[in-house]
Amino acid sequence: MENEKISTIYDNQKGLRIGLLIIADAIVLFLSYFFAYYLVYSFHIPFNEIRGIIGILIGAIGIKLLVFWFTQMYQTLWRYASIEELWQIIGSVVSANFITIVFFYIVSMRIPTTVLVLTFIFDLILIGGIRILYRSLRQMKSGSRGEKHLVLIVGAGEAGIKMLREINNSKKGLSVAAFIDDDPNKKGRMLNGVRVLGGRDKIKEAVESNGEFEEIIIAMPTAPKRDRIAIAEICHATGVPVKVLPTIEEILEFDISEQKLRDLQIEDLLDRDEVTLDKQAIGETLNNKTVLVTGGAGSIGSELCRQIIRFHPKELIILDINENALYYLELELGRYIKEILNPMGIHVTLTVRIASIREADIMKEIFLDLKPQIVFHAAAHKHVPLMERTPREAVKNNVFGTINVLNACLTAGVDRFVQISTDKAVNPTNVMGATKRICEKMVQVYNQENPTECVAVRFGNVLGSNGSVIPIFKDQIARGGPVTVTHQDITRFFMTIPEATQLVLQAASMAKGGEIFVLDMGEPEKITDLAEKMIRLSGYEPYTEIPIQFVGLRPGEKLYEELSYNLEAFDRTTFDSIFVEKPVCYDVGQIREAGTALWQAANGDADGPVIEGVRRMVPEFVTDFNQNKNGRKSI
């Protein structure tokens, strides 16, 4: 019963404000008629006319207020009145005066024409003027202390309160107007001077009744993913810009601040269950260890580094050939160590090396010098169309670069090697996928003969990674379209970069050697649906405002991807999101012989022998190489 009373507070206050506005309008309408009669009677109204005039006033004011009500004039509050609403006021005043004149004519009540004209003029001046005056005074007051842009915060928990304090202490000109929270016990309460309007069902109403929200902030870092998705969709539908406070897992050491806010992204609308990690097992694997990440400045590699450093390794070694990305990542992680870890008494050595995995001697030199205990191998060429046109480069980098890293691991006595693989390695139809399948086989071959525990982790596409559809679609939308999709029925598995890297670390903690871990990617997503969501997320309507164009499958591209050769070969792990393919024993002699032939072909001057060499190592590889190689329009 008490909750029901609390839940009506906001509605009652809104009704009170409208009631006060009606009273103010009644006073203004009275003054309009009073001034009109006062002027008509030359500033002296005869006493015997007063009773009749009062009857006219009561009838006229009542009719006009009813017209104002039915023309929705009271849906705009005084403090939000603007020029746009002034036109609505003019229309309402014209309608009200016309209906009043008709009424007086029907009841045969004679009113001087001059009074009607003056009343209409006064109504316009006073009804419209008082609103514009209030608006102007409010703007002047805001300008005197700096214009305040109104913000609605969704989430009145600890994160929302901290965000409110951050905004109040900042100098960015923001002002929190209200909270939204699904907790019925908070509905109607004042938190730090800001009222909780109600649950998510109040978001649309709050935005419609307040035409000046500059921003909606979703501050629910601990809420279940499905709740965050539902609320994000409601907020996005309002048309107001939406900012999101990332999940606690994304906020390093629970650092909640304005700087952590980001725009609503397609990842926020991806319907995937939360990942539950055994952080103790991951910590036992990484804590106080020397960990090396190849391709550490890439989209997957850099996120691996961000996740690894949270488990406090003794030393984190980042190896990449991209000097710019490596430089900025070093600055980022260096700040994290200095500002977050060091004050906690935790010391992590951060080491960066610019090097190519194609240089076998350099790899051995680095590994012998730094003595890593765990290696995550994320370095690879990943762009399918480019690798179709340059298969020798794909083989040299992906296959023999991986072999160089594996050999360096053996030389330096690395405890565990984790290969980052892809769903394109399953029944590959492109060179990139086939080279990754060879890498999976090499991992298992090396594991058979050596003490280093060698495993691979296979997963599908990650949202937002370099070269993925997300940045491509964003650029196309920014240019006004069209958004290009290769086929209307094409599907892909997707997960976020943080989710993928967290599961990679979890799989690494479970490794015994020889496994290929497969991450549960959920249900495949139609690329067309993804394009439509991104267009709407950008504030446009697909097909009408931003066209979607189907351009045909690119060389080596499939309509759908697979995560395993044989679902029956899967073994479940203790984690619902991770499966494992049973280790396979290969004929090492045959693999070495095929690898030698492939090396010779890759260092030759023709691509044909390379394709044949890849087919020899991956018999299931299917490709129309000549067509793919010449597919220049596939970019």
SS3 content of the chain, % helix, strand, coil (to 5): 55, 15, 30
Which amino acid is residue 28, in one-letter code? V
Distance CA 120, CA 96 (A): 9
Distance CA 237, CA 204 (A): 8
| Beta pairing class for 578-581 and 516-519 | antiparallel
Partners of 263 in beta bridges: 243
Partners of 420 in beta bridges: 457
- Tokens encoding 43: 């500033």
Strands in 306-357 per DSSP E: 315-320, 349-354
Distance CA 314, CA 103 (A): 88
DSSP string covering 246-262: PPTTTSGGG--SGGG-E
Buried b / exposed e across 511-539, counting CB within 10 Å, b at 16+? Answer: bebbbbbbbbbeebbebbebbbbbbbbee
| Beta pairing class for 149-154 and 174-180 | parallel
Give 206's Cβ-side CA count (13 Å radius): 28
Distance CA 370, CA 414 (A): 11
The catalytic residue positions are 424
Buried b / exposed e across 384-423, counting CB within 10 Å, b at 16+? Answer: bbbbbbbbbbbbbbbbbbbbbbbbbbbebebbbbbbbbbb
Tokens 């050999």 correspond to: 407
CB contact at 8 A, 504 and 421: no
CB neighbours (10 Å) of residue 587?
Answer: 10
CB neighbours (10 Å) of residue 96?
Answer: 25
Tokens 């992680």 correspond to: 333
| Beta pairing class for 578-581 and 570-572 | antiparallel
Which region holds residue 174: left if phi is over 0, alpha if psi is between -120 and 50, else beta?
beta
- N-terminal to C-terminal alpha carbon distance within the chain: 64
φ/ψ (deg, to 5) at 115: -65, -45
- Tokens encoding 474: 């964003």
- Tokens encoding 195: 């009222």
